[in-house]
Amino acid sequence: MNFTVHSSAAYHRQELRTLGWETTLCNILADCHNPCRTTLDIKKSYGNLLFDYLDGLFSFERINHLLEVGGGYGWLMRDFMSRKSFAKVTMIDICPHLLDQQRYALKSLPGSLSFREENFIDTPPTVLEDVDLAVLNENIGDYPTITNLPRDFLLDSPAKLSPSLRSVWKFFNKYGLPEPLHPVFHINIGALMALEKLCSAQIPRIFLSEHSCEAAVTGPYRNLISVSASDNPECIILKGHDEFTIQFSHLEKIGHYHGYKIIRGPVADYIPFEMTPRLRAIMKAPSPWRDEDEIIRYFIEDLYKYEYLLLSNERHESE
Ligand SMILES: C[S@@+](CC[C@H](N)C(=O)[O-])C[C@H]1O[C@@H](n2cnc3c(N)ncnc32)[C@H](O)[C@@H]1O
């Protein structure tokens, strides 16, 4: 069987010096002069937009211990901590360089902060025990993905399988993942393991966002904004490592199994923009007229290509 296990761990531990190569939505919106903010009239940074959205779905007053995994430069958490002071904040990141940047970004903010340099896949469950909200923003696409798996091995007895394949088999059987559409498929095994860990720790609220392989544009802009969806994780080649788009329907299965209610949508749900005549012209043009138009067009497409899940389980409220 010629499957491949892709891991970005060595790159993140040893090589990563900047996120400049992967322009995350959070980093784009941190600059209030960025054309995506000015042209689209987006008034706030990413962390503030997300805070507003989540605060409308549950009260942040209930969040005492906030966990962020893969916080990058720490800007999302800086926004959150500027809006509310949390009794305890934990930042987990595999990358020592980015963890230093997070310490710097958060150093003057009040609250008890702890930083853990580790691969989240190896984080001990005890660390998650009293977490009220976990945030993993543009993080799970970095976790291991296995590519080129022949669908037929799912019919084999698990006893005959190698450890990697047995773990894939276990996820299909335990969580009732649907039979892959393609005879050869890819699976976001690391993302599944990460969410299983968060759900097993019974964290009452879990927020995840990432590039999706199941994205769709619905509503008034469905003929104007185009996104692709292959229903099979797609490889995004980046500096020094590969990232994979996420099969969100698999994550939903895990959340439902563990008793969570789930809200799923495109990140456009919390990054509202105005469809001005200029933006409409940019989206309709057969090819962009200017570099700035191209940047804006990619950004708007990303607002639909990125999906999020908010999992909540009132039974697990600590109060
Ligand atoms: C694409 S960056 C996103 C940063 C930030 N959340 C944002 O949206 O701008 C991915 C982040 O996840 C971290 N990361 C990647 N793999 C990880 C792992 N296995 N465990 C913990 N953190 C990881 C990276 O070091 C980085 O901070």
pTM (predicted TM-score)? 0.96
Q: Which atom of ligand 1 is the closest one to the Cα of 137?
A: 6
Q: Which atom of ligand 1 is the closest one to the Cα of 27?
A: 9
Complete DSSP assignment for the chain: ---EEE--HHIIIII---SGGG--HHHHHT-TTSHHHHHHT--S-HHHHHHHHHHTTS-GGG-SEEEEES-TTSHHHHHHHHH---SEEEEEES-HHHHHHHHHHHTTS-SEEEEEES-GGG--GGGGTT-SEEEEES-GGGS-EEEEEEGGGGGS-GGGS-HHHHHHHHHHHHHTPPPPSSSEEEE-HHHHHHHHHHHHTT-SEEEEEEEBSS----GGGTTT------SS--EEEETTEEEE-B-HHHHHHHHHHTT-EEEEEEGGGTS-----HHHHHHHHSSS-SSHHHHHHHHHHHHHHHEEEEEEE-GGG---
- Rounded to the nearest integer, the mean pLDDT of the chain is 94
Q: Which range of residues forms the domain containing residue 150?
A: 4-316
The pLDDT value recorded for residue 319 is 46
Number of domains in the chain: 1
C-alpha 160 – ligand 1 centre gap (Å) = 35
The pLDDT value recorded for residue 315 is 67
Per residue in 98-118, pLDDT (tens digit) is 999 999 999 999 889 999 999
pLDDT(316) > 80: no
Per residue in 126-136, pLDDT (tens digit) is 999 999 999 99
pLDDT(300) > 50: yes
Residue 93 near ligand 1, beta carbon < 6 Å: yes
The pLDDT value recorded for residue 287 is 81
Considering only CA atoms, which residue is closest to atom 11 of ligand 1? 70
Per-residue pLDDT averaged across 183-212, rounded?
98
pLDDT(244) > 90: yes
The pLDDT value recorded for residue 317 is 60
Per residue in 8-45, pLDDT (tens digit) is 998 899 988 888 777 899 999 999 999 999 888 898 99
Per residue in 61-99, pLDDT (tens digit) is 999 999 999 999 999 999 999 999 999 999 999 999 999
The pLDDT value recorded for residue 237 is 86
Residue 120 near ligand 1, beta carbon < 6 Å: yes
- Domain CATH code at residue 100: 3.40.50.150
Q: What share of the chain in percent tops pLDDT 70?
A: 98
Per-residue pLDDT averaged across 191-195, rounded?
98
Residue 71 near ligand 1, beta carbon < 6 Å: yes
